[in-house]
């Protein structure tokens, strides 16, 4: 083991300290989604514990106190449930109850403790030898008492940790994709509720998972613990990124405030299933479609940047569910693309009328109903395959 206090160990210690700081900041935050803050604080604190343990390993602490080796290993089974529950808390419908009562997600931690119990009962020198054997991939000492039981327990624990974390990451990604699809059926502006930062968090966790997976099978790649060190560095980068965005943008860890009830449950996507029991017949649906297009052209409700589905349905005097069905089935688009399609056409007219030299793109975006320049560029390019500036040159 390397007992030097080097750059990597310094970075690891600073990352652990930053994680503790961020966890305390989240615990003390009283605004936004408090349950989400608590879940993220616990997740960050576990990262800090693992980094702290890695720092002690890097500096040779466990050579002097081998009795404490792998004491924190079972907490690795907390990552998956905490990530999933955090995503679930941020993407659950407004009227849904708390998600923090799903205690059964933490049952694998108890199972992990039982599997590692034979290892915990070893004395310090035996723990040190077995831990080094695990790190390097060498065979365990056959003279160790209950070596078969220890090998079985450690192997099952390692495989269980890998499988469990991978499954929870997949569940979390699937949940986030459903959320992204669901909000587009109700909101015309999703910049503040698209949880893009949560997507980046899951991407970072996915990278760490893949490196961790590689480290389990190739612990001494090219004679060095390259993958293990990369896991440590990625964990530090992730913690500092969370702290950076959390301090610069306090609302980043806050669930978007949704005033209107959700029109569509996040877990239901296919239109056929969604409207299978609807009482809206095709003839009435076409009538509603004519009323909708007439209202859009005459009154231009899309110019209101925060327009939502229930608000537009109220203007038409029909239910939000029926309006969603009309847009999805008759026009084959979601509410978000439907509204922004009108906004893009409005912007194209403003660009044509303003001329090539007197067009302020930001003003055009705001006057067309967009709340940001980035959302305007994205929608415009999706609809026309060119940027507003390129379109201005064509006219």
Fold exhibited by the domain 272-394: Arc Repressor Mutant, subunit A (1.10.10)
- Could you give the residue range(s) of every CATH 1.20.1070 domain in the chain? 7-253
CATH 1.10.3470 fits 7-253, yes or no: no
- Could you give the residue range(s) of every CATH 1.10.10.60 domain in the chain? 272-394
In the numeric block, the tokens 């408090």 are attached to: 34
Tokens, residue 297: 């052209």
Q: pLDDT by residue for the chain (395 residues), tens digit each?
A: 445 668 888 999 999 999 999 889 888 877 777 888 888 889 999 999 999 999 998 888 888 888 888 889 999 999 999 999 999 888 875 445 555 567 889 999 999 999 999 888 888 888 888 777 766 655 555 555 577 788 888 889 989 999 999 999 999 999 998 888 888 888 888 877 777 778 888 999 999 999 888 887 776 666 667 888 888 888 888 888 876 665 554 444 444 444 343 333 434 444 455 666 667 778 888 899 999 999 999 999 999 988 999 999 999 999 988 998 899 888 999 999 999 999 999 999 988 887 655 668 888 999 999 988 888 999 999 999 988 888 888 87
Cβ–Cβ < 8 Å for 233, 15? no
Give, as one character, the DSSP assignment of residue 31: S
Tokens, residue 177: 């994709």
Please choose, from the candidates 130, 121, 209, the residue with its C-alpha nearest in 3D space to the C-alpha of residue 163: 209
Residues in the chain: 395
Cβ–Cβ < 8 Å for 270, 188? no
Cβ–Cβ < 8 Å for 365, 373? yes
Query: How far is it between the farthest Cα atoms of the chain?
Result: 87
Long-range contacts of 241-246 (CB under 8 A, 24+ apart): 241/204, 242/22, 242/40, 242/44, 242/201, 243/18, 243/21, 243/22, 245/197, 246/22, 246/25, 246/26
Give, as one character, the DSSP assignment of residue 277: T
Q: Which positions ≥6 away from 317 have C-beta within 8 Å?
A: none
pLDDT value at residue 245 = 66
Other residues' Cβ atoms within 10 Å of the Cβ of residue 370: 28
Tokens, residue 55: 């720092």
In whole angstroms, what separates CA 55 from the centre of its chain?
A: 27
CA separation (Å) from 257 to 194, 374, 395? 12, 21, 40
């Amino acid at each position: 083991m390397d007992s030097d206090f080097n750059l990597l160990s310094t970075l690891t210690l600073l990352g652990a300290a930053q994680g503790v700081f961020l966890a305390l900041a989240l615990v003390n935050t009283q605004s936004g989604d408090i349950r989400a803050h608590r879940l993220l604080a616990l997740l960050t604190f576990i990262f800090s514990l693992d980094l702290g343990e890695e720092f002690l390993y890097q500096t040779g602490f466990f050579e002097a106190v081998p009795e404490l080796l792998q004491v924190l290993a079972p907490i690795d089974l907390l990552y998956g449930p905490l990530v999933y529950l955090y995503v679930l808390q941020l993407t659950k419908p407004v009227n849904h109850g708390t998600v923090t009562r799903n205690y059964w997600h933490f049952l694998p931690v108890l199972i992990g403790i039982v599997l590692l119990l034979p290892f915990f009962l070893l004395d310090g020198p035996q723990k040190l030898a077995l831990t080094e054997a695990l790190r390097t991939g060498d065979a365990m000492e056959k003279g160790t008492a209950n070596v078969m039981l220890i090998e079985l327990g450690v192997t099952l624990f390692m495989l269980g940790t890998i499988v469990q974390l991978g499954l929870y990451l997949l569940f979390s990604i699937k949940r986030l994709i459903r959320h992204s699809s669901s909000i587009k059926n109700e909101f015309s502006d999703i910049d503040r509720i698209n949880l893009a930062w949560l997507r980046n968090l899951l991407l970072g966790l996915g990278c760490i998972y893949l490196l961790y997976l590689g480290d389990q099978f190739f612990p001494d790649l090219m004679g060095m613990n390259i993958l293990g060190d990369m896991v440590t560095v990625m964990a530090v980068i992730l913690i500092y990124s969370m702290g950076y965005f959390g301090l610069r943008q306090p609302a980043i860890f806050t669930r978007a405030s949704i005033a209107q009830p959700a029109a569509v449950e996040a877990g239901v996507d296919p239109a056929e299933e969604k409207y299978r029991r609807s009482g809206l017949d095709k003839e009435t649906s076409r009538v509603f479609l004519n009323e909708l297009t007439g209202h859009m052209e005459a009154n231009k409700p899309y110019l209101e940047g925060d327009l939502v589905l229930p608000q537009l349905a109220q203007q038409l005097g029909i239910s939000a569910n029926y309006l969603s069905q009309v847009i999805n089935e008759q026009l084959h688009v979601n509410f978000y693309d439907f509204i922004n399609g009108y906004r893009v056409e409005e912007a194209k007219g403003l660009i044509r009328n303003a001329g090539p030299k007197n067009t302020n793109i930001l003003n055009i975006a705001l006057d067309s109903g967009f709340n940001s320049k980035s959302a305007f560029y994205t929608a415009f390019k999706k609809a026309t395959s060119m940027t507003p500036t390129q379109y201005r040159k064509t006219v």
